[in-house]
Amino acid sequence: MPLSARVAPLPGGTAQDLRLGPVGEALRQQLAGGDGALEAFYRARNYRPIWIRGWALKPDARIALQALRAAHEDGLDPQAYGESGLPEVLGEAGSHAPSDLARAEIALSRAVAGYLADLHALTPGAEMIYADPAVAPPRLDRTGVLQVLAAARSPAAAVADLQRMNPIYRQLRAALAANRDPARAGLIRANLERARALPADLGRRYVLVDAAAQTLWLYEDGRAVESMPVVVGKLSEPTPAMAGLIRYAVVRPYWNVPPDLVAHTYAPKVLAYGPAWLDSQNMEALSDWTADATVVPPETIDWAAVAAGRQVLRVRQRPGGQNMMGRVKFIFPNSLGVYLHDSPLRQFFSETRRTESAGCVRLSDAPRLARWLLGGQASRLGEPGDPETRVDLERPVPVYIVYFTAAPEGSGLSLRPDIYHRDRPLEARLTPHGTAGPLKL
């Protein structure tokens, strides 16, 4: 019997108005009054299916089912997407009946969209700040995933593309699959969530700073070519997880002293030792925080008001050997004022725990990073010149400041101290999850 003989005639009314085929009409009827987002997606495309060609499911459907079955490797629960009920639904679509095909179409779209949206969603406590949109991975909701699936040359190709993750994530996912220690599984999953925040393509050349390891690595073509110890933020002022693009260096920088440090440390010193003390520290007070600020004689300032917090005063340290920024700072523009910089406080780099900064990253070998980022222009670090001289990179270089207490190293894992006490709250949130909801058979 030809397939067309088994297809019921088109009902009148809406189906004829929309010129829907039998499968489209079955989709319209089954979606009505159900999943609002899914119904809106299909209505916008006039109920054209993604997973069906002619009177059968595309081979992509089985490939998608395999991807769903492996969701546990991503720390996600396949059952949250109805994976256990999908084989039966896909099998019934072999009848070629429009109602069965529509049911399989809906089940696949709900399951795959839920899984892929969750794959790229971030758990609270594992977020990252993106200082530049160029380094931010896509965050797709279920409708966004479905739009990608519909626009691709094939749904399976889109699934594979959306499953593509960065190398750190892939290695942690493999470690989770190979892990046999339940106590360690939670730690690996917590760090897998952190890796989820990184883009799939980290770039050909990039800087990776791990605050937990208190180490900076330089990467080229997927391989770490150099590393150095760094000092990161103290517990009260932790270095944030963030990503940006290093666009320029500032040679012979000023150090703008944080206002609370001016009030609590420097103003009492001036009150104790007199206004000349400020100049003895190679520091100067300024009229305001604008680029046109002028230097203010220290004897004209009400230092008691500054110390009491009644007056906020801008103080900066002039460039020089003892400047807290050292010879150079590397800028990836961001609203938090975080950057990488040189430091005269060399004693901290030999410590096991290097958490002494106010949130920025202090470099143990700033000239080496300058040579890697600036090439021949790095020689300007040792030349005389004006304060705050800007040196642009030929091409911006991504920088990722991360926090991995378990990270890939060789064929195993490197465990780092949880210096900011972030692991336990994050692990507590990591019950298997998913947003699609169980499949109703």
Please name every residue paired with 200 in a beta bridge, in sequence order, or none if there are none: none
Q: Model confidence over 182-231: pLDDT tens digits? A: 889 999 999 999 999 999 999 999 999 999 999 999 999 999 999 999 99
> 26 with 121, same domain?
yes
> 18 with 149, same domain?
yes
Is there a domain that residue 90 lies in? yes
How many domains is the chain partitioned into structurally? 2
Q: Which domain holds residue 295?
A: 255-317
Is there a domain that residue 296 lies in? yes
Which of the listed residues 317, 338, 367 is the one where a domain comes to its end?
Answer: 317
C-alpha span between 415 and 404 (Å, rounded): 8
Is there a domain that residue 303 lies in? yes
> 26 with 134, same domain?
yes
Is there a domain that residue 135 lies in? yes
Q: What is the mean pLDDT of each run of 10 residues along the chain (441 residues)?
A: 37 53 94 91 95 95 95 92 93 96 96 96 95 94 96 96 96 94 92 97 98 98 96 96 98 93 95 94 94 94 95 94 93 96 95 94 97 93 90 97 95 94 94 44 32
pTM value is 0.88
Q: Tell me, what's the pLDDT at 279?
A: 93
Is there a domain that residue 123 lies in? yes
Is there a domain that residue 218 lies in? no
Is there a domain that residue 229 lies in? no
Which of the listed residues 149, 168, 187 is the one where a domain comes to its end?
Answer: 168
Sign of the Cα pseudo-torsion (39, 43, 45, 50, in order): positive
Q: Tell me, what's the pLDDT at 183?
A: 84
Please name every residue paired with 391 in a beta bridge, in sequence order, or none if there are none: 249
